[in-house]
Amino acid sequence: MLLCYFQLPDLQQYLIVMKGYPIMTKLNVSNTSRRTFLKGASLTVGSAALSGLLVACGSSTTNAPTAPTSDSHDMTAMPATAGGGMTADQMDAMHEAGVKAFVGGVKTVGTGNQPLTPRIEKGVKIFELTCKKTPFEVTAGQMVDALTYNGQVPGPEIRVTEGDTVRVVVTNALADQSTAIHFHGVMVPNKMDGVPFVTQPPIKPGQTFTYEFVAKNPGSHMYHAHHNSTMQVGQGLLGAFIIEPKDKAADPKYDLEHTLILNDQLGGFTINGKGFPATAALTAKLGQKLRIRYMNEGQMIHPMHLHGLPQLVFAKDGWNLPQPYKCDTINVAPGERWDVIVDCTEVGVWAFHCHILAHAESAQGMYGMVTALIIQ
């Protein structure tokens, strides 16, 4: 048994197992493979941590089928050659199961991006964040040990209004790592910029650090770790930081909004921390105008394609464009935010996914960066 675990510079991490010869299995997103590997390798690393890293993994053709699990991608009736050895009906059944699970709603542990209500003292909006390791379920059965703000992935949504004085009190409850927060896109005084040894000392385990600044530039921004960030952001230390404009007339009119935080590290390809079918659908009523705030906290581009209806792109990184333009596929790069308006002119369940198809569908069905806009 030879194991090779390596990390590509785009931070995708791969596990490859080569056992005997010849091994010629198509490695795909398949829990059969994952579990076979985990069992065979007697890893001391927990399955949860691994599943967050494991994107593509192959199994030996000589491995016996493994026991059922609760993972929606684990189709225990499937032979190790899943994807190659299926009949059309078998494959369709797996696809249908995923869609049904999504429509029915998948219960998973942990919900991110929940609004955080500030405490107000002398006019200052005070938000408290605690960094800690928290079990988090990416999709049914796929538990990961996340690094979280207040137990959430993504961290709680911080929302203020232009001109507000904002105080963010950060406590580091991680056991073994310092941290710091960078308010990505927010124009802060330099000493509030969150870069250890450049603008502040790192926040050691057990310590608390207070950021304070006036929210100057409205728009869709982010906050995330800026220390060992490839790992810390990758494992969950990220969230939305939204500054509402004082004068809303500068933005297009909209009736409701959704924030979609894209990621590709913890637990694979996710929207707001969850992989399909555990992703939440966006809902709207016919005739409504929906604002979507895209934020990419991952390491790869994600060209998000909404079926059926165009997206009016009107802001980049929180700055309104001089002239909005329409598209149906918006390429969101790491660190970018894009704001769009969808005019909900047609009822139905509209698929909505990353158009790097490998981020969205395998032979076993849709997974990862897939959700839907449901217009009623």
Range 65-94, binding a copy of itself (CB under 8 A): 83, 86-89, 91-92
Structure tokens belonging to residue 225: 């770790």
Contact yes or no for 103/348 (Cβ under 8 A): no
Q: Is the CB of 118 or the CB of 264 nearer to a copy of itself?
A: 264
**Residue 11 beta carbon to a copy of itself: minimum distance, rounded to whole angstroms:** 4
Burial state string for 135-148 with b = 16 or more CB within 10 A and e = fewer than 16: ebbbbbbbbbbbbb
Residues 235-294 that bind a copy of itself (CB under 8 A): 264, 268-269
Among residues 47, 114, 217, 288, the one that binds a copy of itself under rule CB under 8 A: 217
CA 355, CA 305: separation in Å to the nearest integer?
6
Tokens of 141: 């059965």
* Per-residue CA distances from 361 to 77, 218, 221, 276, 365 (Å): 19, 36, 29, 10, 6
Which stretch, 139-147, 163-171, 273-281, 340-348, contacts a copy of itself (CB under 8 A)? 340-348
Distant-in-sequence, close-in-space partners of 195: CB < 8 Å, separation ≥ 6 = 180, 182, 226
Beta carbon nearer to a copy of itself, 5 or 257 = 5
Interaction of residue 135 with a copy of itself, rule CB under 8 A: no
Interface residue with a copy of itself, options 246, 286, 358, 376 (CB under 8 A)? 358
Residue 215 touches a copy of itself, criterion: CB under 8 A? no
Amino acid at 112: G
Q: For residue 347, what are its two tokens?
A: 């009822």
Q: Of 158, 133, 336, 115, which is closest to residue 235 (Cα–Cα)?
A: 133
Interaction between residue 202 and a copy of itself (CB under 8 A): yes
Of 115, 120, 191, 376, which one interacts with a copy of itself (CB under 8 A)? 191
Residue 108-127 contact track with a copy of itself, rule CB under 8 A, x = bound: --------------------
226 is a contact residue toward a copy of itself (CB under 8 A): yes
Least distance to a copy of itself from the beta carbon of 154, Å?
15
CB atoms within 10 A of CB 329: 11
Closest contact distance (angstroms) between CB of 289 and a copy of itself is 16
Q: Which of 109, 189, 208, 210 binds a copy of itself (CB under 8 A)?
A: 189
How many residues touch a copy of itself (CB under 8 A)? 119
Residue with tokens 């491995």: 63
DSSP letter for each residue of 4-23: EEEE-TTS-EEEEEE-SS--
Q: Which is nearer to a copy of itself, 118 or 359 (CB)?
A: 359
Give least dist CB 42 to a copy of itself, A. Answer: 7
Handedness of CA 79, 81, 86, 90 (dihedral sign): positive
Q: How far is the CB of 62 from a copy of itself (least distance, A)?
A: 13
